[in-house]
Structure 1
Amino acid sequence: MTICHVGQLYSAYRGWLHNWLRGKLGCSEQAADLVQETFIRVMTARPNIASLEQPRAYLSSIAKNLAIDYWRRKELEEAYLAALALLPEHEAPSPEQSLLVMEALERVDKVLQSLPSVTQQVFLLSQLEGLTYATIAAQLNCSVPTIKRHMHKAFIACMQVEPL
């Protein structure tokens, strides 16, 4: 089947992609959202799909990346909500503030995911666990200057995250 337009691709593969995503996510509504997002990505990334030889592989690749992003966001949200639950009620942020924090956390997480895993680990040990550079260096069996280089790299990456 030669597919020339996104509409034809959508008609031919929407049902299949929805079922595939529902199996991965266990949620029909979230699968439907990711199907729509997948086709939005197809339209913006590849408006001429006439040369698309393996539509299922192409669509599942995009959808898989979107599902990974979904799970990562969900993990972040759960961790944030768990931290909020520890706060006294009068100190809890408003829903608007919570949304802004979640959006900022998602952007920082995306930046950190682009860094080498050891840089991510060093940054998280320092910023979330509160470990000193010397402790991190001993734990990772490397030097303090190496830890400083990783932290510098992570801070520079975080500073490049655009503000809301």
Structure 2
Amino acid sequence: MVMSASGTDVVHSLYVNHHAWLHGWLRRKLGCSFEAADLAHDTYVRLIASRRLPQPEESRAYLMQIARGLVVDLYRRRQIEAAFRDSLALMPEDLWPSAEQQAIVIETLAEIDAALASLPPKVRETFLLSRFDGLTYSDIAVKLNVSVASVRKYMLKAALACFSTFAG
């Protein structure tokens, strides 16, 4: 169902009827009432932003689907933050970026991660093998059993996905 003028009434009804259940489900999943409250709120924000509303009999399943995606995003972001902290630990503290710069780097890394996650597996793997493992296009072609031309095409697609994240 696409959201219409009466959509605000439907969203209000969904919130009243399912928010406590959703918060409880998220609290059990995350082990933290505060994070559960944030993600429950974000679930409704995503619902409204999508302008699509579930049929009444699909309400909980639809809300849970959105919330699961947010939980995955949260865990992925935690992994990115941990990896960034680990890399900082290898540097002298006086060379660390400011807290604001760190937040910007983490946000940028999360956006790049989301862009790469949206790509087909071979495209994502090609990019990672090239940028992080330092493999040549020929090595990647052999490893993935594709042509060098395909590797070039995959790299272009991955680069465009990363660049489009920041354009606009």
Question: What's the TM-score once normalised by structure 1's chain length?
Answer: 0.86
- Same amino acid, percent of matched pairs: 44
Partner of 2:11: 6
Q: CA offset at residue 109 of structure 1?
A: 1.2
The one-letter amino acid paired with 1:7 is H
Partner of 2:166: 162
The one-letter amino acid paired with 1:66 is L
Give 1:121's match in structure 2, choosing from 122, 125, 128. 125
- Tell me how many residue pairs correspond in the alignment: 160
Partner of 2:37: 32
Which digits, 9 at most, give the CA deviation of each residue in 1:13-37, with x for residues without a partner? 1111011112222222211110011
Q: Is the 8 A contact 1:6 1:47 kept in 2?
A: no
Q: CA offset at residue 130 of structure 1?
A: 1.9
Partner of 1:100: 104
Equivalent-residue separation in structure 1 for 2:53 and 2:71 (angstroms): 24
Structure with the higher fraction of residues in helix conformation: 2
Task: Indicate how the Cα distance of structure 1 residues 55 and 95 shifts in structure 2: closer, same or farther if over 3 A, else same.
Answer: same
Structure 2 gap segments, 5+ residues each: 1-8
Partner of 1:42: 47
The one-letter amino acid paired with 2:129 is L
Q: CA offset at residue 134 of structure 1?
A: 2.2
Equivalent-residue separation in structure 2 for 1:92 and 1:157 (angstroms): 29
Which digits, 9 at most, give the CA deviation of each residue in 1:41-60, with x for residues without a partner? 223334877x5332111111
Please state whether the residue corresponding to 1:5 is helix, strand or coil.
Answer: helix
Q: CA offset at residue 151 of structure 1?
A: 0.8
Partner of 2:23: 18
CA RMSD of the aligned region, Å?
A: 2.1
Partner of 1:82: 86
Please state whether the residue corresponding to 2:94 is helix, strand or coil.
Answer: helix
Which digits, 9 at most, give the CA deviation of each residue in 1:90-112, with x for residues without a partner? 22111111111111111111111
Task: Indicate how the Cα distance of structure 1 residues 54 and 85 shifts in structure 2: closer, same or farther if over 3 A, else same.
Answer: same
Give 1:65's match in structure 2, choosing from 69, 85, 88. 69
Task: Indicate how the Cα distance of structure 1 residues 13 and 93 shifts in structure 2: closer, same or farther if over 3 A, else same.
Answer: same
The one-letter amino acid paired with 1:8 is S
Question: What's the TM-score once normalised by structure 2's chain length?
Answer: 0.84
The one-letter amino acid paired with 1:107 is E
Q: Is the 8 A contact 1:119 1:154 kept in 2?
A: yes
Equivalent-residue separation in structure 2 for 1:141 and 1:48 (angstroms): 43
The one-letter amino acid paired with 2:33 is S
Q: Is the 8 A contact 2:126 2:151 kept in 1?
A: yes
Structure 1 gap segments, 5+ residues each: none
Equivalent-residue separation in structure 2 for 1:158 and 1:15 (angstroms): 38
